Amino acid sequence: MFSSWKEGEPAVVVGLMSGTSLDGIDAAIVRINGSGLEASVELLHYYSKSYEPELRQRLRDLCSEDKSHSAAVCSMNAYLGYQFGATVLEAVTDAGMRIDEVDLVSSHGQTIWHQPVPEEGDAYSVASTLQIGDISVIAKQVGILTVGDFRPADMAVGGQGAPFAPYGDLILFRHSERGRLLQNIGGIGNCTALPAGAGPSDVLAFDTGPGNMIMDALVYMLSEGRLSYDEGGKWAALGKPDQVLLREMMAHPYFHAEPPKSTGRELFGHDYAVSFLEQARLKQISDEDTIATATAFTAHSIADSYMKYVFPSHKIDEVIVTGGGAHNKTLLSMLSELLPEQKVMTSKALGFDDDAKEAVIFALLGHDFMLGVPNNLPAATGARRPTVMGKLALP
């Protein structure tokens, strides 16, 4: 696409990620050599900037059909652009670097609506997705070429616009002898199965369902806003999962849909968490047991997905957990118990920051966009063909 851009030379790229947890912005400064599946990546610095509570609530409202409106979406699109730009500058300073040492910024943006399947009966409804955090604002603020808005291109060729992590997982974690399953646990959980010696057509990937989203929402409600998440899984460790409520939650139709599939707050957002808490109250489940049940819900939805859709066709030796859920010891313990034949670990055990992975992957996606290299993975998204995803904003 821009074939003369850094062709044959290493590039320094800042990847930006703000996920469905709505907890903040991750920035990964990476040096990339090569392109596509043969790229090599060196993580130079990782930086994270938390959202203030009011901003988190405003973003939650934008993800709600009841509370969102056009003016708020329009304004927040620009506001987050400034926040992303400021994060780039802060990350570069924190790394002891100069901004003129960076070649490219690549931003995922903040998803506020993801609709991979059109609404039935509405002739104007099509598969669509919306990420905000205007890339023109970022580019002008930092003075660097900025790439973003990746997901619509995959949808335009029949894909679900998600998951994208498998593309980077294949580059970063494939192994010639060991079958690996990469499980990211952000707001939503997504997995990538990489059999030993995997190539692009061998990858199986999909969203497993809720990651931290339900746990975080319940912690926020039960603590009356004092806590935003269960640090280390300590609250869940005090309780015991209620098996009746857990079975009811696992009956959700999403868990019985065949891959490729993706989801978000549209299915497992605020309304779902409120319903979960109402059911717990009706059953007179204690707060500790409610958090333990929500944690078990995430663990069981992940393990159940593997049993149904991964293990019958892929030999897996290791499950590698990344994202915020990698810090939840209770969740990891539950996963280990449910997966006795696999070694469950975090990416830190392999020398890779647990929190940085998705930001690194978007750096890779932006770098490949600049070189005109197809950067979707049809085996994961269901797209009809490989395509170049992204849009470019000039400084």
Q: CA 282 to CA 18: how far, in whole Å?
A: 35
Q: How many CB atoms lie within 10 A of CB 341?
A: 7
Packing angle, helices 213-222 and 270-282, rounded to 10 = 60
Q: Which residues pair with 147 in a beta bridge?
A: 106, 392
Q: CA 304 to CA 339: how far, in whole Å?
A: 10
Q: CA 77 to CA 71: how far, in whole Å?
A: 10
Asked whether residue 32 is marked as a ligand-binding residue, the answer is: no
Asked whether residue 21 is marked as a ligand-binding residue, the answer is: yes
Asked whether residue 209 is marked as a ligand-binding residue, the answer is: no
* Two tokens, residue 173: 């974690």
Under 8 Å CB-to-CB from 341, ≥6 apart: which residues? Answer: none
Largest CA distance in the chain: 64
Q: Do 106 and 146 form a contact (C-beta atoms < 8 A)?
A: yes
Asked whether residue 20 is marked as a ligand-binding residue, the answer is: yes
Asked whether residue 19 is marked as a ligand-binding residue, the answer is: yes
Asked whether residue 23 is marked as a ligand-binding residue, the answer is: yes
Element (H, E) at 171: helix 165-173
Asked whether residue 85 is marked as a ligand-binding residue, the answer is: no
Q: Do 190 and 381 form a contact (C-beta atoms < 8 A)?
A: no
Q: What is the CA radius of gyration of the chain?
A: 20
Q: Which residues pair with 180 in a beta bridge?
A: 194, 318
Q: CA 244 to CA 311: how far, in whole Å?
A: 26
Q: CA 25 to CA 149: how far, in whole Å?
A: 16
* Two tokens, residue 186: 């952000």
Q: CA 131 to CA 81: how far, in whole Å?
A: 11
* Ramachandran quadrant class, 370 (left: phi over 0; alpha: psi -120 to 50; beta: rest): alpha
Q: Which residues are annotated as a binding site for ATP?
A: 19-26
Q: Which residues are annotated as a binding site?
A: 19-26
